[in-house]
Amino acid sequence: MLKRVGLIMGAVLLSIVLLGYVFRLPLLQWAVAPQLEKAGVTLSCLDFSLTSKLNVYIQKACLSYKNQELVVKGVTANTRHVEIKHAALNVNPLPQSNKVSSPAKNLDLALPEKRPTITVEHLTIHGAFLKRPLMLNITEPTLNQFVVNGDLNISATLYSNKVQGQLKVNDGSLKQLLKTDNELLNGLSFNTAQAFSFNGVEASLTGDLQAQYDYKIQSCDITNSSKGVLSATYNLNSQNLDIDPSQLKNNVTISNNCQSLIPEGDYKAFAVKQLPLNWHWALPRPISLVDNNLTLPLITLKSNEQTGQEVDITFTDTFINIATPLQSARTQLKAQLHTDDINAVVLNTQLENAQLSGNYDIALTALPEFLPADANNVKAHGDFTLTQLVDSKPVGKVSTTFSFDKAVAYGTTINTYTGKLVASMSEKLDASVVLKSEFKGAQYEEYKLTGINNTLSARANLGVGELFAHLNANTQINTLTSPNVDLNTINVTSTGLQSRALKASHHVFVNGVELVANHHVSKVAHPFEVIIPQQSLLSLNSLVSQFEPLAQLTQGEFNGRISGDVNLQKANFNLTIDDTSALYNDYLANQFSTQLSGQYDSGQLNVEPTTFNLNELRAGAVVNNINGKIKVVNNSAQAFDISGNVFGGVFELDKYTLLKQQQTANVTFKDIDASKLITLDDKSGITLTGRLKGWLPLHFSDSGVEVTNGSLLNQGEGKLIISNNVAFDSVMQQQQELQPVLSLLKNLDIQKLNSTVALKSDGWLNLGVNLQGFNEPEQQQVNFNYNHEENVFTLLRALRLSDEITQKVEQQYSQKGN
């Protein structure tokens, strides 16, 4: 009976086992899957069996955890060892979740003293960041000690509270595995062995690093090498990554080929000398990354040159949010430069909240040789503030002051210059630039200026649309001296508008003379206009006196207008001179008026024939009602058809060309009143009446003015009366024998007067006089001849013959007796 019951129970148990084995997969899905899901693990496939040795053989198992997928195949497991033939892990992006994840906790592993060891013969890891799958094999030679070989070499030990080990990585592995969109890793070579540790909350790495990065820009080779110990820690809860590169030695070498990147020019040799080829940089303090916030307390960059090139650049308190680097960047920069050519360049800047501010100082003993100017003791300093840099619409202000002791450029010498430049930009993109300059003096060849002050300003809106820049300038010059003219108190006020072309207007005061100039500069034309407002000619006295110290303008007004095109070298002009009077020594000209119109074309000046009027000219004799014409033909100015009244008669001048050395001008006169020409005081006792005419050919040459073959003739009869003249009576008393002859001149009807005139360039005048007449009381014919020679200053004075006739009579009859 018992035997039968035993057989029945055995059969039932065997049936249960057989049924359990046949329905093993549904049972596992029903019993095991819910427990895994509680841990976030999804079991999507499982196929296992028992071997003849009672080992569990898993043909395939599929697990997923937070979008990460693991498939294992060929797993043999028993109480001593678990062997996995193939494992494939797909690393996918983590799913986004609004749930607040629970903080990580320190490891507290319940490690059994005895468990099966694990071997993974082939582990393949797939990921979007990998160029190809990562191939690994994992062994556990000793309990809780793992060795990973393949594309990565890792040895790790598992403790109850941490995992620690060694990691070796080189550039070859990364280049083969990592997928990059650029050539970032192509020039990178490195080798590192890192000791790592992880306690469930914080991971750390510490080890030696030897790396080199080669970068090429065209033919320029740049090499960075780093060697030393690198440490890093990462906290899962705070998500804080700390990296300590302070023990790394970093050097940057720039090849000589990099000089080819500098464009060819006169400045290249100077730029090459200022460029250090060897640099050292360091991060002396740990850096950290928390929630995309990167903090770098200190960055230093120094040149390693021994050739006089000293560059020191320091970044402090640098902060960047990696998600918004431009908006969040914050740093302080200090840079110092010193070379054989540059005394010092110091730059201090601060970047915070998209605002850049700072100051700088520059000092040079002399300007670089490539510049077209020489200057000594050049200094510049300034400050700047710029905001809204991220939006490409900077707002801010820049101020610069610069100076030098002496500069020479293009033959011009400038002494003691100081300038200040202020530029600003508003939120509405209104830009403004103001430059104030002050010169103690400037000299170009024989031209010298002193006391120069200039203010130039420009303002414009840089918004959408065509750019319009409004320009304003004011220039003041105390003195301008030159071999020909000296000018004082020069003031120029300018306004302009710059768009597609420049329109400008200049209001000029020079020695009290006022001018207004307008011009329009474009790519094809440069029209201009100069307006001379109606103003007094007395303001020209300071200029006139420099050419003729004895000349002085006493009244008058002038105005004019010039218009043309600078590019075409053409201009038309009008100049009006009204009611002008001038004094030269004891010569006086009253009420001169004229209006000039002409053209300037390619270096040739032409003035249309125009009339001028001069009311009166006092030059020993009084000349009035002078009229004539002026013209300029191809830069040659000529006065012609000149006529006027003198000594009660009229005169005419045919032509006179200004500035022409060799020429002849013919002067003719007629109806000259002899009583006015031979004018004596009321007590002289000599009177002369009648009319005279004549002509004077004026010959101009390098040596001066000469008159040859000049003539003076009478028009009709005249009268000579001598009474109570002391000198004449004295001659008659001394020469008793001449009394009958001389007495005939006391009451003489002049029938003919003929005089030849010759004037030398040295001022010597020679008159050959022949006087023929009739003494009515004595009924006696008279023929009188004499020569007169004297050094005179003007021709008009030479024509005043009264004193000369008396003196000649006295001389001839007292000396010769005939």
Alpha helices in 265-356 (DSSP H): 268-274, 325-328
Q: pLDDT for 248-284, tens place per residue? A: 999 999 888 888 888 888 788 888 888 888 889 999 9
Q: For residue 328, what are its two tokens?
A: 């969040």
**Per-residue pLDDT at 586:** 67
Predicted confidence at residue 96, as pLDDT, reads 62
Query: Cα angle at 303 between 300 and 308, to 5 degrees?
Result: 140
Task: Give 102 or 117, the one with higher predicted confidence.
Answer: 117
Q: What is the DSSP string of 708-737?
A: EEEEEEEEEEEEEEE-S-HHHHHHHHH-GG
Q: Give yes or no for a contact between 334 and 348, defined as CB atoms under 8 angstroms apart.
A: yes
Distance in angstroms (rounded) separating the CA atoms of residues 663 and 656: 8
Average pLDDT of the residues in 60-76: 87
Triad 671, 672, 675: Cα angle to 5°: 130
What is the DSSP code string of 117-160?
A: EEEEEEEEEEETTBSS-EEEEEEEEETTEEEEEESSEEEEEE-S
What pLDDT is attached to residue 29? 53
pLDDT (average), residues 349-373 = 88
CA distance to 325, 349, 700, 786, 809, per residue, from 756 (Å): 105, 94, 19, 11, 18
What are the φ and ψ backbone dihedral angles of 798, each rounded to 5 degrees? Answer: -65, -25
The CA-atom distances, in angstroms, between 128 and each of 133, 135, 174, 235, 701 are: 10, 15, 14, 25, 103
Q: Which residue has the higher pLDDT, 163 or 680?
A: 163
* CB neighbourhood size of 695 (10 A): 18
The answer, yes or no, to whether residue 9 has pLDDT greater than 50, is: no
Mean pLDDT of the chain: 83
* 147-151: average pLDDT: 90
Contacts (Cβ under 8 Å, ≥6 apart) of 239: 290, 291
Residue 346: name the closest of 388, 314, 394, 320 by CA. 314
Nearest-CA neighbor of 234 among 257, 270, 202, 207? 202
Could you give the CA distance from residue 297 to residue 286 in angstroms, rounded to a whole number? 7
What is the tens place of the pLDDT at every residue in 485-520? 888 889 999 999 888 888 899 999 998 899 999 988
Mean pLDDT over residues 200-217, rounded?
90
CB 448 within 8 A of CB 441: yes
Question: What is the DSSP secondary structure assignment for residue 680, as one 8-state letter?
Answer: -
Q: Check: CB of residue 638 under 8 Å from CB of residue 631.
A: yes
> Which pLDDT score is estimated for 622?
80
Q: Taking 60 as the threshold, does the pLDDT of residue 646 lie above it? A: yes
The 3-state DSSP class for residue 237 equals coil
Collapsing DSSP to helix, strand or coil, 686 comes out as strand
Identify the pLDDT of residue 695. Answer: 92
HSE-up (13 A, CA, CB side) for residue 681: 3
For residue 211, give both structure tokens: 């790396």
Give the other-Cβ count within 10 Å of 84's Cβ: 21
Residues in contact with 547: Cβ distance below 8 Å, sequence separation at least 6, in sequence order: 485
Burial call 271-284: b when 16+ CB within 10 Å, e when fewer: eeeebbbebebbbe
Q: What percent of the chain has pLDDT over 70?
A: 87
Please report, rounded to a whole number, the percentage of residues in the chain having pLDDT higher than 90.
Answer: 36
pLDDT of 344 strictly over 70: yes
In this structure, are residues 162 and 142 in contact, taking their beta carbons and an 8 Å threshold?
A: no
Residue 683 is predicted with a pLDDT of 54
For residue 207, pLDDT beyond 80: yes
Partnered with residue 630 across adjacent β-strands are 610, 639
Q: What residues have CB less than 8 Å from 447, skipping those under 6 apart?
A: 480, 481, 482
CB 414 within 8 A of CB 402: no
pLDDT recorded at residue 10? 41
Residue 681 has pLDDT above 60, yes or no: no
What is the model's pLDDT at position 170? 81
Report the chain's C-alpha Rg in angstroms: 56
Handedness of CA 629, 632, 638, 640 (dihedral sign): negative
Cα–Cα distance, 180 to 129 (Å, whole number): 8
Q: Quick one: pLDDT at residue 655?
A: 93
Answer whether 178's CB lies under 8 Å from 82's CB.
Answer: no
Residue 765, pLDDT score: 80
Separation of alpha carbons 378 and 307, rounded Å: 23
Q: Higher confidence at residue 85 or residue 659?
A: 85
Instruction: Give the torsion sign (CA, 610, 613, 619, 623).
Output: positive
Q: How far apart (Å, rounded) are the C-alpha atoms in residues 761 and 95?
A: 115
- DSSP track, 627-667: EEEEEEETTEEEEEEEEEEETTEEEEEEEEETT-SSEEEEE
Pick from 628, 621, 698, 708: nearest CA to 667: 698
Could you tell me where the DSSP H helices lie in 424-529? none
* Burial zone of 532 (CB within 10 Å; 0-12 exposed, 13-18 middle, 19+ buried): buried
Query: Which of the residue ranges 26-30, 126-130, 633-637, 675-679 would you say has the lowest mean pLDDT?
Result: 26-30
Q: Strand 188-198 to strand 163-170: parallel, antiparallel, or no bridges (unpaired)? A: antiparallel
- The single-letter DSSP state of residue 27 is H
Can you give the length of the chain in residues? 818
SS3 219: coil
Q: Are 600 and 620 spatial neighbours (Cβ–Cβ below 8 Å)?
A: no
pLDDT at residue 767, as a whole number: 83
- Are 46 and 61 in contact, with CB atoms under 8 Å apart? yes
pLDDT score recorded for residue 107: 82
pLDDT one-digit tens code per residue, 527-580: 999 999 999 999 888 888 887 788 889 899 999 999 999 888 899 999 999 999
